[in-house]
Structure 1
Amino acid sequence: MSQTDTRKEVFEFNKLQKRLRRNVGNAITDYGMIEEGDVVMACISGGKDSFAMLDILLQLQKVAPISFEVVAVNLDQKQPGFPEHILPEYFESLNIPYYIVDKDTYSVVKQKVPEGKTTCGLCSRLRRGTLYSFAEKIGATKIALGHHMDDMVETLFLNMFHGARLKGMPPKLRSDDGRNVVIRPLTYCREDDLIRYAQHKDFPIIPCNLCGSQENLQRQNIKAMLVEWDKKTPGRVENIFKSMQNVSPSQLADKALFDFENLPLDRSEERQEYEFSEAVVSSTNIDESLFIDVTNI
């Protein structure tokens, strides 16, 4: 590689890193994800997204105007062949506090889910319960997950297509019992950027053997659809995500969110001018003298 190519590569990476740091910082600010004195439990699966999240959180921790702690936590689900040494060695190289938590969710999932069926649902519930309880045990006030914008848009369509619900994956979530708060610092980050970032940083990626072999998962189909849309119309995924931030309940159909039954007609105030001119009647068979002139009431 020539010196010019090297300089260009460094320049492009610096741009990428600044964009990701800016996106994470904006998401944290916009949704109040991290506050003074927080203990952030960064959940590291061994995938590119969680590695990138940890890396950027540690960078922001050094320059943030508030003080907060970051503790890396990996849930070892006892998948066969899982390289148990990789993450402890990586965390030690960063000189950060960490925990490896052992919980054999792999056996439970394999026992309860028939061969060929999607394991993600049960796996995520078991993982969530373990992480919630462990966060309380270590005094963590926030649980950081590595979901990015693409994940959130995919989840929206998954729920629409397969669950008949207009429901997504929020940037910040309080657990049903109120005992934990989940944050997603990569909310404004695109997956393509995270892929390139992970490649440059050479993170020790660990593949998931449990769900990675299920090629026909519904999420993969949604992902392929969005990739195609993004190719044809760049910026479409960003616009879909922005629509999740700009919701108008009165323009949807959920009776629990908007009272459609009680919409009384109110013409008591003087009408403002509409954006179009008044219509002119050219022909009618109605006796207009029967109309009530509301202007004289």
Structure 2
Amino acid sequence: MKKWYNKLFLNDIRKSVENYNMIENGDKILVGLSGGKDSIFLLYSLILLRKNSYLDFNIIGLHIDIGLKIDMESTKYFLTENNIPYIHENIDIMDKIFEDDKSPCYLCSKMKRGAIARISKEVGTNKIALGHHKTDLVITFLLNLIYTGKLDTFKPISYNKKHDLNLIRPLIYVEEDIIKKIVSDENLPLGRGKCPQDKENKRSELDELLKYIENKYPDFQQKTITAIENFSDDNLW
């Protein structure tokens, strides 16, 4: 690991883990691998964290194939090189999610969450790590503010009561541009293939808005995080 990675992103991951008590010694963590940059960066970061901290925890990688047949061979090889178990689960739901009247993304996400929880219990993991990062958090905040009129975004750590699992997001202090850089610089393995729904949507629209704001206010993402973490009922009506 390059020493300057500590300052670039690893210290931020340590900070999120410590601030929200995300990972403890003895944890067994399931990492969902979509084939995209965020999930492979998450896996890479957890490997570095385990090597360069006092924490001793286990990692298992999981890819759920919904029928897209994304080529994950290079990712599988990467996990093997790092002595991390890899699970490839097929749940061919393509016909079902595109036949329904509801959004295919909504149904796909719901079914995948159920499959991840099931597999997590089968292999004995107590936590599921998700690859949502700082930019995701800010865009979700803006989406809720603009489209639903709510001050809301996802939490760093949450508990799934139904499945008795903790969901953790160690990347909440890491911006997307840094993830893109590290994935490129380290040539981290991405899956080959993409979802047919990978197109323009409200999230990509808000991504453009965020870029516009950051041209004038470069620290907007950090200020948004600070505002969320310092939220108090006394500050608002």
Seen in structure 2, the aligned counterparts of structure 1 residues 99 and 230 have a Cα distance that, compared at 3 Å, is same
- Measured in 2, the distance between the counterparts of 1:145 and 1:170 equals 11
State TM-score, norm by structure 1. 0.74
- Measured in 1, the distance between the counterparts of 2:195 and 2:212 equals 27
> Aligned match of 1:208 in 183, 187, 194?
194
- Measured in 1, the distance between the counterparts of 2:154 and 2:54 equals 28
1:51-76 Cα deviation digits (max 9, x unpaired) = 11111111111232132111111111
Larger RCO (CA under 8 A, 6+ residues apart): 2
Work out whether 1:27 is the aligned partner of 2:16.
yes
Seen in structure 2, the aligned counterparts of structure 1 residues 221 and 237 have a Cα distance that, compared at 3 Å, is same
Instruction: Give 1:98-247 correspondences, 5 Å limit.
Output: 98-113=86-101, 119-177=104-162, 179-206=164-191, 207-212=193-198, 214-215=199-200, 217-247=201-231
Larger Rg: 1
- Measured in 2, the distance between the counterparts of 1:84 and 1:46 equals 7
Q: Percent identity of the aligned residues? A: 26
1:160-184 Cα deviation digits (max 9, x unpaired) = 2222322101111111436111001
Which residue identity does 1:126 align to in structure 2? M
- Measured in 2, the distance between the counterparts of 1:17 and 1:30 equals 17
State TM-score, norm by structure 2. 0.91
Q: Which residue of 2 aligns with 1:85?
A: 73
CA RMSD of aligned residues (A): 2.0
- Measured in 1, the distance between the counterparts of 2:133 and 2:35 equals 15
Which residue identity does 2:84 align to in structure 1? I
- Measured in 2, the distance between the counterparts of 1:208 and 1:170 equals 27
> Aligned match of 1:54 in 33, 39, 43?
43
- Measured in 2, the distance between the counterparts of 1:154 and 1:122 equals 21
User: Mind listing any 5+ residue stretches in structure 2 that lack a counterpart?
Assistant: none
- Measured in 2, the distance between the counterparts of 1:17 and 1:64 equals 11
- Measured in 1, the distance between the counterparts of 2:96 and 2:235 equals 43
Give 1:157 deviation, angstroms.
Answer: 1.4
Q: Which residue of 2 aligns with 1:262?
A: none
Instruction: Give 1:29-48 correspondences, 5 Å limit.
Output: 29-48=18-37
1:128-161 Cα deviation digits (max 9, x unpaired) = 1111121111111110011100001111111222
